[in-house]
Amino acid sequence: MPGHFEPLPGGGAAVALDDVEISIIRSLAVQLLELIGPGPAEDASDDPLAELFADGPSEPPSDPVLRRLFPDAYTDPEGASSPQGADEQKAHSAEFRRYTENDLRAGKRDSALTVIRSLDALASQTVGGGGAVLKLSPQESQGWLRALNDLRLAIGSRLEITDEDDTDLLYRLPDDDPRKPMVMAYLWLGGLQETLVTTLLP
C-alpha cells in the first residue's frame, strides 16, 4: 500500500502516508485553495440565492495557473483563423465563463477542502510520527481524484509542461536544478492519481 491507493471493501480507497507526505499534500492543497480564492461575496440583502445566481468573471484569469484550471471554453484554432471568428470565440468564452466559473471554483474549493479535512483527521490519529493509513469513502475518493488533478495542472503550469515530451524532459533534470522538488512532487502526485483512478474503476 505505501505510495499507492488500494480499494477498500464496499468502495472507497486507502493509502499509507507518512508524516512528510501528509504535510506536503496538505500544504499543496492549502496553496491551491488560496489560489482559487474565496467564493463571491454575499448579496447585501442576505438573499440565500444571491451567490447561486451571481455572475462570474468574463475575462480569463491573469495568473497562468488559474488560466490552466479555468481555460476558455471556445479555443478552436480553425474557428479563430479570421478576426471575426476570433472575436466570436472570445465573446462566447466570456459568456460561458460568466455563467460557469463561480460553480467551477466552488467545486475545486470543495475538492481541496476534502483533501485538507481528511488529512487533518488522519494527522490526529498518528502516533509517534510514523504516519498512518488514509481511508477514503467513495465520495471522498472522487474529491481526492479531482484535487490531485487540479494540483498536477497547477504544478504543471508552473513547470510550463504542455505535452508528454515536456514530461519526459523532467526525468532528466539534474539534481541541482531548482525545479527538481516541484518536479518530484508533480511525478509523485501523478503516481497517486493513477493508482486512485485504477482503484475506482468498476
Please give the Cα distance from 195 to 189 (Å, whole number).
10
Spatial contact of 14 and 28, defined as CB atoms under 8 Å apart: no
Query: What percent of the chain is modeled with pLDDT above 90?
Result: 44
Query: What percent of the chain is modeled with pLDDT above 70?
Result: 80
pTM of the model: 0.81
Task: Pick from 35-39, 42-46, 95-99 the range whose average pLDDT is largest.
Answer: 35-39
Spatial contact of 122 and 132, defined as CB atoms under 8 Å apart: yes
CB neighbour list of residue 89: distance below 8 Å, 6 or more residues apart? 72, 74, 75, 76, 79, 80
Q: What's the pLDDT band for 71 if we cut at 50, 70, 90?
A: confident
Q: Does position 93 have pLDDT exceeding 80, yes or no?
A: no
CB count in 10 Å sphere of residue 32: 23
Per residue in 139-188, pLDDT (tens digit) is 999 999 999 999 999 999 998 887 766 777 777 888 888 888 999 999 99
Q: Does position 97 have pLDDT exceeding 90, yes or no?
A: no
Helix (H), strand (E) at residue 132? strand 132-136
Mean pLDDT calculated for residue range 71-91:
68
Q: Does position 46 have pLDDT exceeding 60, yes or no?
A: no
- Residue 6's pLDDT is 94
Spatial contact of 70 and 101, defined as CB atoms under 8 Å apart: yes
